[in-house]
C-alpha cells in the first residue's frame, strides 16, 4: 500500500457509520522509542475482534508525549499495515492552529481516513476563534471534533458545533461531557460518538449515539463491541462497571498502560509524566481479570501484579 494516494479514503457515510473505534495505546521499547512490533500486535488483536476503526496517537495513544514526526510516522505505519482492514483516524489536534493545519495536511498525505481535533487548550479562545480554528482544518479533509472539557478546561458550546456542522467535511463530534449532550445533538440529526466507556451503552441505545471511541477496548475489545454494536445489554454494562471504575480511577491512560503491562502484551515502559499505578491497584486489576476470566482480555500470558522495579520510566527518548 502506498502513501501517495493509491489507497481510497473512506467516504463520509462510511466514517459516520463507524460503531466501535479503539483509541489504541502506543507501546514503547526500553529506551522509550515506539515499539512498532508490539503496536502491530495490539492492532491485530483489535482487528481480530472486529473493531471498525483505530484512533492513532490520541489521548490514549499518548500523542501529547510524541513529536509530530513520531505521530505522523505512526499514522503512516497504521495506514500501510492495516488500512485495508480498518478505518484509520489520526490525531491532528493542537492548541496552535498553524500546527493543527500542518499535522492534518501531513496525516492526510500519508493516507489517514479522518482527523480528530481537540479544541485549543490552555490559551483557549472565543467561540468565534473556535469556529475559525476548526474551519481551517475542515478545509483540508474530514474531521471529527473532540470535546473533552476535563482536559481542555474549555467546553465547545453547542452553538459552535451546530455552526461547524454546516461544513461538508464535519463528520461529527466525539463528546465526553455526558449523555444529555449526546442526546441533544442526536435529536438535531448530528453524528455523535461518546468518548466515555462507562456511558457508552446508554449513549448508543438510549441517546442515539453512532458508537464509541473506546479506551477499555484496548483490554476487552470483544466485550466493548458487544456493548455498542450487538444490541442493548444492561447486564453486561453493569458487569463491566467495576473494570471501568478501575481503568478511570486515574487520568487516562495511566491505569490502562499498567494493565496492558500486567497482561504481558506490552513492555512495562512509561514515558513521563505517566507512571504506573501503585501495587495495591495492580493487585485489584489481577483480581478483576481472575473474576472476569483471563480469556476475555487481550493477550495470552498470565496476568501479573509486577514489582515496582519491573517498570521502566523514561524522561528523555
Angstrom distance (rounded) from CA 169 to CA 201: 27
Q: Clarify whether 239 is annotated catalytic.
A: no
Q: Clarify whether 85 is annotated catalytic.
A: no
Collapse the DSSP code of 173 into the 3-class scheme (helix H, G, I; strand E, B; otherwise coil) and give the result: strand
Going by their DSSP bridges, the two strands 269-271 and 211-214 should be labelled as unpaired
Catalytic-role residue among 28, 134, 146, 213:
146
Backbone angles phi, psi at 314, to 5 degrees: -115, 135
Collapse the DSSP code of 168 into the 3-class scheme (helix H, G, I; strand E, B; otherwise coil) and give the result: coil
The answer to whether the CB of 284 falls within 8 A of the CB of 276 is no
| Element containing residue 255 per DSSP (H, E) | helix 254-262
Cβ neighbours of residue 61 under 8 Å, at least 6 residues apart?
23, 24, 25, 26, 55, 74, 91, 253
- Cell numbers standing for residue 285: 486489576
Using the structure block, give the residue that is written with the C-alpha cell 449513549.
203
Residue by residue, DSSP assigns 264-293 as TSS-SEEETT--PPPHHHHHHHHHHHHHH-
Question: What DSSP character marks residue 171?
Answer: E
Catalytic-role residue among 134, 174, 185, 213:
174
Supply the residues annotated as catalytic: 146, 174
Amino acid at each position: 500500500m502506498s502513501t501517495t494516494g493509491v489507497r481510497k479514503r473512506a467516504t463520509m457515510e462510511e466514517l459516520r457509520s463507524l460503531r466501535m473505534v479503539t483509541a489504541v495505546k502506543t507501546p514503547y521499547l526500553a529506551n522509550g522509542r515506539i515499539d512498532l512490533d508490539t503496536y502491530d500486535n495490539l492492532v491485530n488483536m483489535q482487528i481480530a475482534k472486529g473493531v471498525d476503526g483505530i484512533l492513532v496517537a490520541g489521548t490514549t495513544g499518548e500523542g501529547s508525549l510524541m513529536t509530530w514526526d513520531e505521530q505522523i510516522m505512526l499514522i503512516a505505519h497504521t495506514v500501510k499495515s492495516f488500512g485495508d482492514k480498518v478505518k484509520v483516524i489520526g490525531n491532528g489536534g493542537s492548541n496552535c492552529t498553524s500546527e493543527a493545519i500542518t499535522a492534518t495536511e501531513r496525516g492526510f498525505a500519508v493516507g489517514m481516513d479522518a482527523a480528530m481535533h481537540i479544541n485549543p487548550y490552555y490559551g483557549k479562545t472565543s467561540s468565534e476563534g473556535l469556529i475559525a480554528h476548526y474551519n481551517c482544518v475542515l478545509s483540508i479533509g474530514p474531521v471529527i471534533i473532540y470535546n473533552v472539557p476535563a482536559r481542555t478546561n474549555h467546553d465547545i458550546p453547542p452553538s459552535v458545533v451546530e455552526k461547524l456542522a454546516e461544513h461538508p467535511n464535519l463528520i461529527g463530534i466525539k463528546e465526553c461531557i455526558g449523555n444529555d449532550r449526546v442526546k441533544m445533538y442526536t435529536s438535531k440529526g448530528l453524528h455523535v460518538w461518546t468518548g466515555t466507556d462507562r456511558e457508552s451503552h446508554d449513549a448508543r441505545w438510549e441517546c442515539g449515539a453512532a458508537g464509541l471511541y473506546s479506551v477499555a477496548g484496548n483490554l476487552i475489545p470483544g466485550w466493548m463491541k458487544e456493548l455498542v454494536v450487538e444490541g442493548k445489554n444492561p447486564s453486561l454494562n453493569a458487569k463491566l462497571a467495576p473494570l471501568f471504575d478501575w481503568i478511570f480511577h486515574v487520568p487516562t491512560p495511566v491505569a490502562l498502560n499498567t494493565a496492558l503491562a500486567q497482561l504481558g502484551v506490552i513492555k512495562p515502559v512509561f514515558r513521563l509524566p505517566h507512571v504506573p499505578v501503585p501495587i495495591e491497584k495492580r493487585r485489584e486489576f489481577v483480581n478483576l481479570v481472575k473474576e472476569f476470566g483471563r480469556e476475555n482480555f487481550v493477550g495470552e500470558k498470565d496476568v501479573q501484579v509486577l514489582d515496582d522495579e519491573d517498570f521502566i520510566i523514561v524522561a528523555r527518548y
